[in-house]
Every structure is written in structure tokens, then in C-alpha cells.
A and B are shown apart, each in its own frame.
Chain A
Amino acid sequence: MKTLRKHLEKLRAVKRRSYHPLIHKIRKRYKISKKTLLYVKEYGPHTNVPKTIVKECLKILLFASIISSFGGLALEHIKDIFIPIVPLILVLPALNDMIGDYGIIISSRFSTLLHTGKIRGRWYKNNDLKKLFAQIFIISILTAIITSSIALAISHASGFGFNARIAYKIFLISVIDIILLVNILFLVSIFAGLYYYKKNEDPDNFLIPLTTSIADFGNMLILAILVILLF
């Protein structure tokens, strides 16, 4: 017990940024999980907790903000076409949430598949990956249809007059947007995940910010393109 305490104290003194072989050593010897050791290292009694969190999160949050704003710029350009179509305003936050969530699900589950050694050989022949793709693909189409239906119902109830053609276009925009982005997110997660994994880095730390930023920017851009093409 005394040696464990000594090792943990030593770990706390390790520079926050550097990976230390002590983590591996303590983990192996005392069977303490990696997450616990990370917590000891990151948020120990001698750490300035807010400073550590702000330092680690700020860069990626600012990057995500810039990417999202570029997506918003695409919408601002078509403001005059976009704003009069009430169902589109209604679906915008829901679509943004959904696609961001799919980005997180795809990247975290692909990372887990990599970590557990289930991705071997050719990734496109992997059954777990095929199953994940099928699940996300079906759910995304279902949720896009549900979102569009509710948005159209709310628009109708609030007095926005629309015909079958507009309803069809709203469905088409939501479904195409979701299908395109789910495919893009899958490809990005796979190629970036494999790249970081081969470099012996944890794909979890890179894939989620990467896919959510692509989801944000891509959603706004594809939405803007579809609105221009269809309206």
C-alpha cells in the first residue's frame, strides 16, 4: 500500500502533458484502470482544475465554432429563400442535433471496434462495421422522416400554407441531407480512425471533434445547396 501511495504521488507530479511510463507500470502492477490513473494525473490536489479544463477544451471549441460559423455563412447567403419556408426553420436545430449525435455515435463505436481488435484485414468486409452502418442508416432515415412530418404538422397548425410539392421537397431535403452526411461521417471516421490507430494514438481524442465539426459545417452547406436546387 505504501509503495502504491508513493507511485501515485509520483504520478501526480508528472507534467500534465507528457505520457509517463509510470501509468503503464502502476496499471499493470496494481490493476488500476487507465481512467482512474488519468484522473489522478489530470485532477490531483495540486492541479488547477479550471485551468486544466479550459486549456484542454478551448482549442477544439474554438475550432468547432469557426467551422460552424462557416456553415452558418452558407445559410446567411440564402437567407431570403430560406426564411419564408417555415418547415425548414423548424427542422434546422433538430437536423443539426441529429447529425452531430450520429457523428459522436459513429466515431465512438468505430474507436471501440479498433481498440477491441475487431477491425482486422479489410474494414469493408467487417460484419460489426456493416451492422453499425445499417443501424445508423436506418435510424437516420426514420428520424429524418419523423422530424419532417412533425415540422410540417406544426407549420400547418400555425397557418403556414403549403402544398404536396413543398412537403415533398422538405422530406427530400431532410432525407438527402442525412444520407449524405451519414456516409461522409462513416468514411471520415474509418479513414481518420485507422490513420490515428496506426500512429499509436487514441482515435477517441480526434474522431469526435473531427466528425462533429464536419457534421455542423456539412449540414449547413448541404442544406444551403439543396434549398438553392429545390426552391
Chain B
Amino acid sequence: MEIFDKKFKEIFCSQIVSIVGGLIAGTILAVYTNKLLLIPGMLILLPGFLEMRGNISGSLSARLTSGLFLGVVKPNKTKTKIVKGNILASFLLAIIVSFVLGVIAFSFIFIFFDIFAPKIILISLIAGILSNTIEIPLTLFFTFYLFSKGHDPNNIMGPFVTSTGDITSVVSLLIVMVLI
């Protein structure tokens, strides 16, 4: 049984990419702890918020990659019904999930900590829209770019999306906090 084979190296390398993204996001969180983590409900919101980016953009990339391999989506044609539909669906999902995450965080801090902070819903919604405005085009561009360069986006986009998703999510939360 050969444990240290090609698959071992592939998983290990993808995890290193994931770690880098996660640690950058963690550093931003640590630097701006006063602005972010001390807000009531932020720790309830954060895990779901970080996960959402990977879930939505990860599925977007996987769907587009399947389409590219099947020839249904053309790498030089991005303004087709199927690509536009995918982008629109990802945005809609991001808005709905961000809102729901905000509502859950608001309800939890109200029920368990007796704190009334409806602001968390607004923070979640605006930050969700902002981070997806960056993340979705980024996912789209890199999926097409990698495919056109002869790579399989399925092998690269997973860790890429979770890493960049972490960073854009934390930065968006920070921007919204400053704005609000």
C-alpha cells in the first residue's frame, strides 16, 4: 500500500493553498478584532458566512466546468443563456443565504443573550452582496482561463474558491462595518 502517491501530493498541495487563504483571513480578523468579533452575533454569523462563499462559488465553478467539458459552454462565449443563468442564480442564492444568515444570527443573540441587534441582518446582507460581487466574476474568469489553458478547473478551483472566498468575505464584512 503506497500512501505517498500522486493523490497524496495533490491533496497536500491543495490544502496548503487553503491554509494560506485561511490564515490571511484569520490575520485580518485578528487585526480588526475590535471592529468585527466584538460585535454581538458576529461569531454566530462568521462560520456560515465564510462557508457560503465556497458553497456558492464552488458549485458555480463545478457547473461551468462540467458544461465546458461537455461542450455545452464554450470557453470563448461567456454571454450565453447558460452562463448568464448561472451568474444570476449565484447572485440570487448569495442574497437569500446572506439574509437568512443575518436573521439566524439576530435571532440567536436575541434568544440566547438577550441582545437586540437588528444591524447584524444589514451587515450580513450588504457584506454578502459585496463579497459575491468580487467572488463570482473572479470564479467565472479563472474557471474559463484555466480551462482555456488546458487545466481541469475541478482540481484547482475548490481550494482557490475557499481561499479567496475567506479573504473577500472578511474584507467585505470589515468594509461594511466601517460604512455602517
Question: What is the interface of chain A, defined by CB distance below 8 A to chain B?
Answer: 33, 35-36, 39, 43, 45, 48-54, 57-58, 61-62, 64-66, 68-69, 71-73, 75-77, 79, 82-83, 86, 89-98, 100-101, 104-105, 127, 130-131, 134-136, 138-139, 142-143, 146-147, 150-151, 154-155, 158, 212, 216, 219-220
The A-B contact count (CB < 8 A) is: 209
Residues B70 and A68 in contact, CB atoms below 8 Å apart:
no
In the bound complex, what is the Cα–Cα distance between A215 and B162 (angstroms)?
Answer: 15
Contact partner, A93, options B12, B26, B45, Cβ 8 Å: B26
In the complex, B179 has a CB within 8 A of chain A: no
Question: What is the interface of chain B, defined by CB distance below 8 A to chain A?
Answer: 1-3, 7-8, 11-12, 14-16, 18-19, 21-23, 25-27, 29-31, 33, 37-38, 41, 43-48, 50-52, 54-56, 59, 63, 66-67, 70, 72, 81-82, 84-86, 88-90, 92-93, 96-97, 100-101, 104-105, 108-109, 112-113, 158-159, 162-163, 166, 170
In the bound complex, what is the Cα–Cα distance between A27 and B44 (angstroms)?
Answer: 47
A/B interface sample: 7 pairs, CB < 8 A: A39-B67, A83-B33, A89-B33, A101-B18, A101-B158, A104-B158, A151-B23
Residues B52 and A65 in contact, CB atoms below 8 Å apart:
yes
Q: A92 and B26 in contact (CB under 8 A), knowing A73-B108, A97-B21?
A: yes
Contact partner, A151, options B8, B26, B38, B92, Cβ 8 Å: B26
Residues B51 and A136 in contact, CB atoms below 8 Å apart:
no
Residues A220 and B88 in contact, CB atoms below 8 Å apart:
no
Given contacts A75-B43, A94-B21, A97-B50, list 4 more A-B pairs with CB under 8 A: A49-B82, A76-B113, A94-B19, A95-B22
In the bound complex, what is the Cα–Cα distance between A23 and B178 (angstroms)?
Answer: 53
Specify which chain A residues have a CB less than 8 angstroms from the CB of B97 in the assembled complex.
61-62, 65
- The 3 tightest CB contacts between A and B, nearest first, are A49-B85, A94-B22, A68-B48
Q: A96 and B43 in contact (CB under 8 A), knowing A83-B37, A89-B33, A105-B11?
A: no
Residues A83 and B38 in contact, CB atoms below 8 Å apart:
yes
Give chain B nearest CB distance to A166 CB in angstroms.
15
Give chain A nearest CB distance to B94 CB in angstroms.
9
Residues A65 and B19 in contact, CB atoms below 8 Å apart:
no
In the bound complex, what is the Cα–Cα distance between A16 and B57 (angstroms)?
Answer: 23
Specify which chain A residues have a CB less than 8 angstroms from the CB of B63 in the assembled complex.
53
Q: Is the interface of A mostly helix, strand, loop or mixed?
A: helix
Q: A93 and B93 in contact (CB under 8 A), knowing A49-B86, A131-B3?
A: no
Residues B50 and A93 in contact, CB atoms below 8 Å apart:
yes
Contact partner, B44, options A72, A150, A219, Cβ 8 Å: A72
Q: A43 and B19 in contact (CB under 8 A), knowing A69-B101, A76-B108?
A: no
Specify which chain A residues have a CB less than 8 angstroms from the CB of B44 in the assembled complex.
69, 72-73, 75-76
Specify which chain A residues have a CB less than 8 angstroms from the CB of B26 in the assembled complex.
89-94, 151
Q: A98 and B22 in contact (CB under 8 A), knowing A49-B89, A58-B93?
A: yes
Specify which chain B residues have a CB less than 8 angstroms from the CB of A93 in the assembled complex.
21-23, 25-26, 29, 50, 166, 170
Q: A35 and B66 in contact (CB under 8 A), knowing A61-B55, A65-B48?
A: yes
Give chain A nearest CB distance to B87 CB in angstroms.
9
Q: A39 and B70 in contact (CB under 8 A), knowing A96-B50, A139-B8?
A: yes
Residues B89 and A35 in contact, CB atoms below 8 Å apart:
no
Give chain A nearest CB distance to B17 CB in angstroms.
10
Give chain A nearest CB distance to B151 CB in angstroms.
19
Specify which chain B residues have a CB less than 8 angstroms from the CB of A77 in the assembled complex.
112
Specify which chain A residues have a CB less than 8 angstroms from the CB of B51 in the assembled complex.
64-65, 68, 96, 100, 212, 216
Q: A147 and B22 in contact (CB under 8 A), knowing A54-B92, A69-B108?
A: yes
Residues B22 and A53 in contact, CB atoms below 8 Å apart:
no
**Residue among A43, A72, A96 having the largest count of chain B Cβ atoms under 10 Å:** A72
Specify which chain A residues have a CB less than 8 angstroms from the CB of B31 in the assembled complex.
158
Residues B41 and A76 in contact, CB atoms below 8 Å apart:
yes
